């Protein structure tokens, strides 16, 4: 489907930079990313009072190419101003007798040192679909956040977050689940974010109103 198809069929267009007319504080994030190690799904947006197009440099920190770690963000996520993703390059190794990053300064000390040995690699940061990350939250290396989770304002997320959980605090802890277990299971099975644009559009009323029964019997659109 190309851009003209969205216009003709009155469908939302995930290839826009700014989804709201005359509003340059919100952007569809995937369309302003150039780093191949940052992967963002359709319709995920970032809000910034200055310029959301600077997300890659100002919000994804210590992301050194030599480490090859990834930031993976799913579809339909809402990322608030000032959210920071701290990548592995921010770490200092704990297996050494010193936390000083000698390998980073190998030209000063020993050219045989491997720069990636200066930090502990905790893996990729992976954000699920339909995740809301609040104002100035900080996500630490290797954290996985499940579908439908909510990250509170200025939370420091150091551990994985289960799907459809609300977390907050420093360090972040689970406050409560958003829904009862059966509804969470239904949502994880439905994966509405993977539906076609037309199908989502036809079922927005059920999504917005919390009508899980209607969503389990969606309008007959593929």
What pLDDT shows up at residue 76? 97
pLDDT at 1: 52
Give counts: helices (H), strands (E), the chain.
7, 15
- Residues annotated catalytic, as ranges: 92
What pLDDT, on a 0 to 100 scale, did the predictor assign at position 49?
95
pLDDT for res 117: 78
The pLDDT value recorded for residue 8 is: 45
* pTM for the predicted model, two decimal places: 0.89
Q: Which portions of the chain are predicted below pLDDT 70?
A: 1-10, 220-222
Give φ, ψ of 165 to 5 degrees: -105, 150
Q: What is the pLDDT of residue 221?
A: 65
Q: Which two tokens stand for residue 147?
A: 């579908």
Q: Give the CA count within 13 Å in the CB-facing half-sphere of 152.
A: 14
Q: What phi and psi values does residue 42 have, to the nearest 5 degrees?
A: -60, 140
Q: Which sign, positive or negative, has the C-alpha torsion 47, 51, 55, 59? A: negative
- Specify whether the CB–CB gap between 147 and 129 falls below 8 A: yes
In contact, 182 and 213? CB cutoff 8 Å: no
Q: Which two tokens stand for residue 24?
A: 């340059």
Nearest by Cα to 156 from 143, 168, 144, 141: 168
pLDDT in tens, 89-123: 888 888 888 888 888 888 888 777 778 877 788 99
Domains detected in the chain: 3-95+122-178 (2.160.10.10), 180-222 (no CATH)
What pLDDT does 48 receive? 95
What was the pLDDT predicted at 6?
52
């Amino acid at each position: 489907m190309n851009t003209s198809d969205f216009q003709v069929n009155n469908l939302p267009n995930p290839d826009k930079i700014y989804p709201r007319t005359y509003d340059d504080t919100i952007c569809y994030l995937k369309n302003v990313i150039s780093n191949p190690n940052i992967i963002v799904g359709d319709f995920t947006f970032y809000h910034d009072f200055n310029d959301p197009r600077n997300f890659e440099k100002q919000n994804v920190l210590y992301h050194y190419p030599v480490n090859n770690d990834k930031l993976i963000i799913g579809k339909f996520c809402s990322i608030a101003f000032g959210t920071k993703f701290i990548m592995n390059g921010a770490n200092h190794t704990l297996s050494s007798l010193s936390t000083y990053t000698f390998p980073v300064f190998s030209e000063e000390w020993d050219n045989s040192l491997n720069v990636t040995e200066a930090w502990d690699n905790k893996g990729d940061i992976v954000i699920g679909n339909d995740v809301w990350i609040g104002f100035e939250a900080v996500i630490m290396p290797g954290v996985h956040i499940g579908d439908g989770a909510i990250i509170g304002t200025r939370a420091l997320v150091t551990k994985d977050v289960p799907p459809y959980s609300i977390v907050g605090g420093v360090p972040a802890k689970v406050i409560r689940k958003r829904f009862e277990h059966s509804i969470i299971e239904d949502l994880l099975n439905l994966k509405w974010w993977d539906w076609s644009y037309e199908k989502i559009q036809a079922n927005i009323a059920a999504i917005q109103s919390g009508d899980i029964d209607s969503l389990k019997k969606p309008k007959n659109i593929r």
